[in-house]
Amino acid sequence: MTDMNLPDYKQQSDAVRDRFDRLKQRPVTMEVRGLHKEFATRGGTVQALKDINLKIHKREFVCVIGPSGCGKSTLIRILAGLEQPTSGEVLLDGKAVTKPGPERGMVFQGYTLFPWLTVKQNVMFGLVESGYDKNTAEAEARQWIDLIGLARFENSYPHQLSGGMKQRVAIARALANKPKILLMDEPFGALDAQTRAKMQAYLLEIWKNIDVTVFFITHDLDEAVYLADRILVLKANPGEIDELIEVPVPQPRHPDQFLSAEFLATKKRVEELIHPPKEDGDDDHLNLVRMVPVSDEVGSVF
Protein backbone atom coordinates (compact mmCIF):
# COMPACT_ATOMS: atom_id res chain seq x y z
CA MET A 1 0.00 0.00 0.00
CA THR A 2 1.50 3.36 -1.03
CA ASP A 3 0.87 6.82 0.38
CA MET A 4 -1.19 7.61 -2.73
CA ASN A 5 -3.70 4.94 -1.70
CA LEU A 6 -4.10 6.14 1.90
CA PRO A 7 -7.30 7.91 2.93
CA ASP A 8 -7.20 11.18 4.84
CA TYR A 9 -6.65 10.24 8.48
CA LYS A 10 -9.71 12.31 9.43
CA GLN A 11 -12.01 10.01 7.47
CA GLN A 12 -13.96 7.94 9.99
CA SER A 13 -16.50 5.16 9.67
CA ASP A 14 -19.94 5.61 11.19
CA ALA A 15 -18.95 3.30 14.06
CA VAL A 16 -15.81 5.32 14.82
CA ARG A 17 -17.69 8.64 14.65
CA ASP A 18 -20.28 7.23 17.03
CA ARG A 19 -17.51 6.10 19.41
CA PHE A 20 -16.03 9.60 19.55
CA ASP A 21 -19.46 11.22 19.94
CA ARG A 22 -20.06 8.98 22.96
CA LEU A 23 -16.56 9.62 24.33
CA LYS A 24 -17.12 13.40 24.28
CA GLN A 25 -20.32 12.95 26.28
CA ARG A 26 -18.49 11.25 29.15
CA PRO A 27 -17.51 13.25 32.25
CA VAL A 28 -14.14 15.00 32.12
CA THR A 29 -11.73 13.18 34.45
CA MET A 30 -8.78 15.55 34.08
CA GLU A 31 -8.56 19.04 32.62
CA VAL A 32 -5.43 21.06 31.86
CA ARG A 33 -5.94 24.82 31.59
CA GLY A 34 -3.43 27.31 30.24
CA LEU A 35 -0.45 25.31 31.45
CA HIS A 36 2.99 26.91 31.20
CA LYS A 37 6.27 25.61 32.60
CA GLU A 38 9.61 27.42 32.70
CA PHE A 39 12.95 26.30 34.11
CA ALA A 40 15.62 28.68 35.37
CA THR A 41 19.05 28.35 33.76
CA ARG A 42 22.30 30.25 34.04
CA GLY A 43 21.42 32.15 30.90
CA GLY A 44 17.88 33.02 31.98
CA THR A 45 14.80 30.79 31.58
CA VAL A 46 13.81 27.97 29.27
CA GLN A 47 10.15 27.52 28.39
CA ALA A 48 9.39 23.80 28.50
CA LEU A 49 5.61 23.93 28.03
CA LYS A 50 3.44 26.65 26.54
CA ASP A 51 -0.33 27.11 26.80
CA ILE A 52 -1.38 23.47 27.15
CA ASN A 53 -5.16 23.07 27.20
CA LEU A 54 -6.69 19.60 27.25
CA LYS A 55 -9.72 17.69 28.48
CA ILE A 56 -9.32 13.96 29.17
CA HIS A 57 -12.61 12.06 29.41
CA LYS A 58 -13.53 9.15 31.66
CA ARG A 59 -12.18 5.77 30.39
CA GLU A 60 -10.31 7.50 27.56
CA PHE A 61 -6.87 6.37 26.41
CA VAL A 62 -4.72 9.37 25.43
CA CYS A 63 -1.20 8.98 24.05
CA VAL A 64 1.30 11.84 23.91
CA ILE A 65 4.05 11.93 21.32
CA GLY A 66 6.48 14.52 20.03
CA PRO A 67 10.12 15.21 19.17
CA SER A 68 12.85 15.02 21.80
CA GLY A 69 12.73 18.00 24.13
CA CYS A 70 9.02 18.76 23.65
CA GLY A 71 8.26 18.42 27.37
CA LYS A 72 6.37 15.10 27.41
CA SER A 73 7.86 13.92 30.70
CA THR A 74 7.55 17.38 32.25
CA LEU A 75 3.85 17.40 31.38
CA ILE A 76 3.13 14.00 32.92
CA ARG A 77 5.08 14.89 36.07
CA ILE A 78 2.92 17.99 36.47
CA LEU A 79 -0.24 15.90 36.03
CA ALA A 80 1.08 13.54 38.71
CA GLY A 81 1.74 16.43 41.09
CA LEU A 82 5.49 15.75 41.12
CA GLU A 83 6.22 19.19 39.66
CA GLN A 84 4.35 22.47 39.76
CA PRO A 85 3.51 24.54 36.66
CA THR A 86 4.78 28.10 36.32
CA SER A 87 1.20 29.12 35.52
CA GLY A 88 -2.07 27.44 34.65
CA GLU A 89 -3.75 24.57 36.47
CA VAL A 90 -4.54 20.88 36.39
CA LEU A 91 -7.94 19.72 37.64
CA LEU A 92 -8.95 16.16 38.56
CA ASP A 93 -12.72 15.82 38.82
CA GLY A 94 -12.79 19.61 39.16
CA LYS A 95 -10.28 19.76 42.03
CA ALA A 96 -6.84 21.34 41.65
CA VAL A 97 -3.83 18.98 41.51
CA THR A 98 -1.08 20.35 43.75
CA LYS A 99 0.73 17.23 44.94
CA PRO A 100 0.85 13.45 44.36
CA GLY A 101 -2.21 11.46 45.39
CA PRO A 102 -3.60 7.91 45.24
CA GLU A 103 -6.21 8.94 42.70
CA ARG A 104 -3.35 9.19 40.16
CA GLY A 105 -1.33 6.02 39.53
CA MET A 106 2.12 6.44 37.98
CA VAL A 107 4.23 3.98 35.98
CA PHE A 108 7.73 5.03 34.86
CA GLN A 109 10.01 3.71 32.11
CA GLY A 110 12.57 2.46 34.62
CA TYR A 111 11.87 -0.47 36.88
CA THR A 112 10.77 1.23 40.10
CA LEU A 113 9.83 -1.79 42.19
CA PHE A 114 11.31 -2.02 45.67
CA PRO A 115 14.04 -4.67 45.29
CA TRP A 116 13.80 -5.82 48.93
CA LEU A 117 10.06 -6.59 48.62
CA THR A 118 8.39 -9.54 46.90
CA VAL A 119 5.88 -9.13 44.09
CA LYS A 120 3.00 -9.38 46.58
CA GLN A 121 4.61 -6.93 48.99
CA ASN A 122 5.26 -4.44 46.19
CA VAL A 123 1.62 -4.50 45.12
CA MET A 124 0.49 -4.28 48.76
CA PHE A 125 2.73 -1.31 49.52
CA GLY A 126 0.40 1.51 48.45
CA LEU A 127 -2.60 -0.18 50.06
CA VAL A 128 -0.86 -0.48 53.42
CA GLU A 129 0.31 3.15 53.18
CA SER A 130 -3.30 4.17 52.51
CA GLY A 131 -4.45 2.54 55.73
CA TYR A 132 -5.58 -0.92 54.69
CA ASP A 133 -4.98 -3.62 57.27
CA LYS A 134 -2.48 -6.30 56.24
CA ASN A 135 -5.02 -9.05 55.53
CA THR A 136 -7.21 -6.82 53.37
CA ALA A 137 -4.18 -5.43 51.52
CA GLU A 138 -2.90 -8.95 50.88
CA ALA A 139 -6.26 -10.11 49.52
CA GLU A 140 -6.49 -7.06 47.25
CA ALA A 141 -2.91 -7.53 46.06
CA ARG A 142 -3.55 -11.16 45.15
CA GLN A 143 -6.48 -10.13 42.96
CA TRP A 144 -4.28 -7.73 40.99
CA ILE A 145 -1.42 -10.21 40.76
CA ASP A 146 -3.83 -12.79 39.38
CA LEU A 147 -5.15 -10.21 36.89
CA ILE A 148 -1.67 -9.65 35.46
CA GLY A 149 -1.01 -13.39 35.29
CA LEU A 150 1.79 -13.56 37.87
CA ALA A 151 0.16 -15.56 40.68
CA ARG A 152 3.02 -18.11 40.50
CA PHE A 153 5.51 -15.35 41.18
CA GLU A 154 3.85 -13.55 44.10
CA ASN A 155 6.71 -14.50 46.43
CA SER A 156 9.48 -13.74 43.93
CA TYR A 157 11.73 -10.70 44.16
CA PRO A 158 12.18 -8.18 41.32
CA HIS A 159 15.65 -9.47 40.40
CA GLN A 160 14.04 -12.84 39.65
CA LEU A 161 11.64 -11.34 37.07
CA SER A 162 12.02 -10.38 33.42
CA GLY A 163 11.62 -6.76 32.33
CA GLY A 164 8.09 -7.30 31.11
CA MET A 165 7.09 -9.03 34.32
CA LYS A 166 8.50 -6.15 36.38
CA GLN A 167 6.40 -3.66 34.44
CA ARG A 168 3.30 -5.81 34.88
CA VAL A 169 3.90 -5.69 38.63
CA ALA A 170 4.43 -1.92 38.44
CA ILE A 171 1.10 -1.55 36.63
CA ALA A 172 -0.65 -3.74 39.23
CA ARG A 173 0.89 -1.68 42.05
CA ALA A 174 -0.31 1.55 40.42
CA LEU A 175 -3.83 0.17 39.87
CA ALA A 176 -4.20 -1.41 43.32
CA ASN A 177 -5.21 1.94 44.83
CA LYS A 178 -7.99 2.19 42.22
CA PRO A 179 -6.82 5.49 40.70
CA LYS A 180 -9.08 7.55 38.48
CA ILE A 181 -6.26 8.03 35.98
CA LEU A 182 -3.17 5.94 35.21
CA LEU A 183 -0.18 8.05 34.13
CA MET A 184 2.45 6.13 32.15
CA ASP A 185 5.78 7.67 31.12
CA GLU A 186 7.18 5.50 28.29
CA PRO A 187 6.60 2.36 30.39
CA PHE A 188 7.61 -0.05 27.62
CA GLY A 189 10.52 1.95 26.22
CA ALA A 190 13.21 -0.29 27.71
CA LEU A 191 11.65 -3.56 26.54
CA ASP A 192 12.55 -5.61 23.49
CA ALA A 193 10.10 -5.55 20.58
CA GLN A 194 8.46 -8.91 21.34
CA THR A 195 7.95 -8.15 25.04
CA ARG A 196 6.73 -4.66 24.18
CA ALA A 197 4.02 -6.10 21.90
CA LYS A 198 2.90 -8.46 24.68
CA MET A 199 2.77 -5.59 27.18
CA GLN A 200 0.66 -3.49 24.82
CA ALA A 201 -1.82 -6.37 24.59
CA TYR A 202 -1.82 -6.78 28.40
CA LEU A 203 -2.45 -3.07 28.88
CA LEU A 204 -5.35 -2.97 26.42
CA GLU A 205 -6.92 -6.00 28.12
CA ILE A 206 -6.53 -4.41 31.57
CA TRP A 207 -7.92 -1.08 30.35
CA LYS A 208 -10.92 -2.85 28.81
CA ASN A 209 -11.80 -4.47 32.14
CA ILE A 210 -10.83 -1.77 34.67
CA ASP A 211 -12.58 1.55 35.27
CA VAL A 212 -9.55 3.75 34.64
CA THR A 213 -8.47 6.54 32.30
CA VAL A 214 -4.99 6.23 30.74
CA PHE A 215 -2.54 9.02 29.84
CA PHE A 216 0.42 7.42 28.08
CA ILE A 217 3.72 8.99 26.97
CA THR A 218 5.53 7.26 24.11
CA HIS A 219 8.09 7.94 21.40
CA ASP A 220 6.87 5.01 19.28
CA LEU A 221 4.42 6.00 16.53
CA ASP A 222 3.01 2.49 16.04
CA GLU A 223 2.42 2.19 19.77
CA ALA A 224 0.58 5.51 19.92
CA VAL A 225 -1.76 4.66 17.02
CA TYR A 226 -2.34 1.13 18.31
CA LEU A 227 -3.24 2.12 21.87
CA ALA A 228 -4.87 5.54 21.78
CA ASP A 229 -8.35 6.92 21.37
CA ARG A 230 -6.66 10.28 20.78
CA ILE A 231 -3.04 11.27 20.20
CA LEU A 232 -1.72 14.55 21.57
CA VAL A 233 1.16 15.68 19.34
CA LEU A 234 3.49 18.26 20.89
CA LYS A 235 5.87 20.67 19.20
CA ALA A 236 9.32 21.26 20.66
CA ASN A 237 11.01 24.41 21.99
CA PRO A 238 8.67 25.23 23.59
CA GLY A 239 6.36 22.26 24.03
CA GLU A 240 2.91 23.23 22.81
CA ILE A 241 0.02 21.37 21.24
CA ASP A 242 0.52 20.83 17.53
CA GLU A 243 -2.54 18.68 16.91
CA LEU A 244 -4.97 16.43 18.78
CA ILE A 245 -5.69 13.44 16.57
CA GLU A 246 -8.77 11.25 16.87
CA VAL A 247 -7.52 7.79 15.91
CA PRO A 248 -9.93 6.30 13.32
CA VAL A 249 -8.75 2.71 13.87
CA PRO A 250 -11.80 0.73 15.09
CA GLN A 251 -11.96 -0.73 18.59
CA PRO A 252 -11.20 -3.30 19.89
CA ARG A 253 -7.64 -3.19 18.61
CA HIS A 254 -5.63 -6.16 17.36
CA PRO A 255 -2.19 -6.49 15.68
CA ASP A 256 -3.68 -7.15 12.23
CA GLN A 257 -4.72 -3.49 12.14
CA PHE A 258 -1.08 -2.34 11.85
CA LEU A 259 -1.46 -2.72 8.06
CA SER A 260 -4.95 -1.24 7.77
CA ALA A 261 -5.53 1.94 5.76
CA GLU A 262 -6.76 3.81 8.88
CA PHE A 263 -3.69 2.83 10.87
CA LEU A 264 -1.20 3.75 8.15
CA ALA A 265 -2.92 7.06 7.39
CA THR A 266 -2.88 8.07 11.06
CA LYS A 267 0.76 7.07 11.46
CA LYS A 268 1.66 9.05 8.33
CA ARG A 269 -0.02 12.15 9.77
CA VAL A 270 1.86 11.83 13.06
CA GLU A 271 5.13 11.42 11.14
CA GLU A 272 4.38 14.59 9.15
CA LEU A 273 3.87 16.54 12.37
CA ILE A 274 6.97 15.23 14.14
CA HIS A 275 9.25 15.29 11.08
CA PRO A 276 7.98 18.14 8.87
CA PRO A 277 9.58 18.67 5.43
CA LYS A 278 12.82 20.63 5.57
CA GLU A 279 12.51 24.29 4.64
CA ASP A 280 14.92 26.13 2.37
CA GLY A 281 18.05 26.98 4.27
CA ASP A 282 17.76 24.07 6.70
CA ASP A 283 21.14 22.42 7.10
CA ASP A 284 21.17 19.35 9.30
CA HIS A 285 24.09 17.42 7.79
CA LEU A 286 26.78 16.10 10.10
CA ASN A 287 30.16 17.83 10.07
CA LEU A 288 32.31 14.71 10.06
CA VAL A 289 36.02 14.32 9.38
CA ARG A 290 36.64 11.35 7.09
CA MET A 291 38.63 8.71 8.96
CA VAL A 292 38.78 6.00 6.27
CA PRO A 293 40.45 5.99 2.81
CA VAL A 294 38.50 7.69 0.04
CA SER A 295 38.34 4.39 -1.85
CA ASP A 296 36.71 2.67 1.16
CA GLU A 297 33.03 3.28 0.39
CA VAL A 298 30.39 1.60 2.53
CA GLY A 299 28.31 -0.71 0.39
CA SER A 300 30.77 -0.95 -2.44
CA VAL A 301 31.86 -4.31 -3.91
CA PHE A 302 35.36 -5.32 -2.82
Specify the pLDDT at position 33. Answer: 97
Given strand 181-185, what is the order of strands in its sheet?
Answer: 104-107, 181-185, 213-217, 61-65, 230-234, 241-246
Rounded alpha-carbon distances, angstroms, from residue 142 to 36, 103, 107, 152, 172 = 41, 20, 19, 11, 10
Q: How many CA atoms, within 13 angstroms, populate the side-chain half-sphere of residue 50? A: 13
Give per-residue pLDDT as tens, 89-120. Answer: 999 999 999 999 989 999 988 878 999 999 99
Choices 3.20.20.70, 3.30.390.30, 3.40.47.10, 3.40.50.300: CATH for 3-103+179-274: 3.40.50.300
Specify the pLDDT at position 1. Answer: 43
Specify the pLDDT at position 32. Answer: 97
- Please report, in tens digits, the pLDDT of each residue of the chain (302 residues total): 445 567 777 777 788 888 889 988 999 999 999 999 999 888 788 899 999 999 999 999 999 999 988 999 999 999 999 999 999 999 999 999 999 998 999 998 887 899 999 999 999 998 998 889 999 999 999 999 998 889 999 999 999 999 999 999 999 999 999 999 999 999 998 889 999 999 999 999 999 989 999 999 999 999 999 999 999 999 988 999 999 999 999 988 998 999 999 999 999 999 999 987 766 556 566 666 777 776 667 665 54
Specify the pLDDT at position 2. Answer: 46
Specify the pLDDT at position 44. Answer: 83
